[in-house]
Amino acid sequence: MVKSILQRPIKRFEMSGWFFILFIAALRDIDAFEVQAPQPRVVAVYNQPAVLGCVFPPSLDLGSPLEEGLVVTWQRVEDLRVVHSFYYGTDQLARQSGEYHNRTGLFHSQLSRGNASLRLESVGPGDQGRYLCSVNNMKGTGKAEVQLKYAESSSRNYDDCPRDRSTLLMSFIPAGGLFIFLIFLYFRHKRTWKATSKSENMTEITVRKRTCDKNTSPLEAGTSNCESDVSPPSPVHEV
């Protein structure tokens, strides 16, 4: 009887001890739940996709099915616009702000591994700002902030330089070819003109000589001045 009475406080103490241990473990799990942004600042390129990173400690083992209680919400910090929302195991696009329609997506295959990163398509100037990633599951709730910077001038100029050089090169090649072709035509035409002029001079001399020979008798040939009327051909300088 006495022994049983003494065992009751011991059992109560053991039960309270286990309860205390479980309570401490639960507090440690709550404290251990932390949502983080691996890259707090992301630089976006014009009209290209950008990934806003967000990770959290998963409540299930790796490879386990996705828990139904997982809630992931991406919002703009400035005005709390909903960029993307996920709960009940699917995307909730009805709550999404209109400017992000068909432009956002989560990596669904990696949600069970603690990856709640957001992919944003076709980034423009209006997308620059601060984004808030909120995650809620069986382990707890947490938030992380990511800043998206828009760098149109540097990124676009850097990407367009090779295309500009190629365009200039392709425009210079036809122009250079046309210039060389025009020079070729010029010298060819000049040489043809000189050859034609030389041929005309020789023809004129021959005609004059024949006319003198026909109109002059043998006795007058010595005193004829027809030869003086025939001028020698002008020298032609070859190019």
CATH number of the domain that residue 97 is part of: 2.60.40.10
**Mean pLDDT calculated for residue range 182-198:** 71
Q: Are residues 108 and 57 in the same domain?
A: yes
Per the structure, how many domains does the chain have? 2
Q: Are residues 106 and 207 in the same domain?
A: no
pLDDT of residue 216: 55
Q: Are residues 137 and 39 in the same domain?
A: yes
Q: Are residues 107 and 42 in the same domain?
A: yes
Q: Are residues 50 and 144 in the same domain?
A: yes
pLDDT of residue 2: 47
Share of the chain above pLDDT 70, in %: 53
Question: Considering the domain boundaries, does residue 159 fall inside one?
Answer: no
The torsion defined by the Cα of 132, 137, 142 and 146, in degrees rounded to 10, comes to -30
The better pLDDT of the pair 107, 215 is held by 107
Burial string for 6-24 (b: 16+ CB within 10 Å, else e) reads: eeeeeeeeeeeeeeeeeee
**Mean pLDDT calculated for residue range 83-111:** 95
Q: How many other CB atoms are there within 10 angstroms of residue 109's CB atom?
A: 9
Reported confidence tier of residue 62, pLDDT bands at 50, 70, 90? low
**Residue 65 belongs to domain spanning:** 32-150
The segment with the largest mean pLDDT, out of 55-64, 70-79, 220-229, is: 70-79
For residue range 136-151, what is the model confidence (pLDDT) as tens digits?
998 899 999 999 999 8
Q: Are residues 141 and 43 in the same domain?
A: yes
pTM assigned to the model: 0.54
**Mean pLDDT calculated for residue range 69-77:** 96
pLDDT of residue 123: 95
Q: Are residues 109 and 180 in the same domain?
A: no
Q: 148 - beta bridge partners?
A: 42, 129
Q: Are residues 40 and 104 in the same domain?
A: yes
Could you give the angle at the alpha carbon of 30 between the alpha carbons of 24 and 33, nearest 5°?
Answer: 140
CA-CA distance, 111 to 69, in Å (whole number)? 12
The better pLDDT of the pair 60, 106 is held by 106
Q: Are residues 43 and 92 in the same domain?
A: yes
Q: With a cut of 50, say whether residue 21 has pLDDT above it.
A: no
Reported confidence tier of residue 78, pLDDT bands at 50, 70, 90? very high
Question: Considering the domain boundaries, does residue 13 fall inside one?
Answer: no
Question: Considering the domain boundaries, does residue 26 fall inside one?
Answer: no
- Taken in order 16, 17, 22, 26, the sign of the CA dihedral is positive
Q: With a cut of 70, say whether residue 98 has pLDDT above it.
A: yes
Reported confidence tier of residue 109, pLDDT bands at 50, 70, 90? very high
Q: Distance of alpha carbon 174 from its chain centroid, rounded?
A: 28
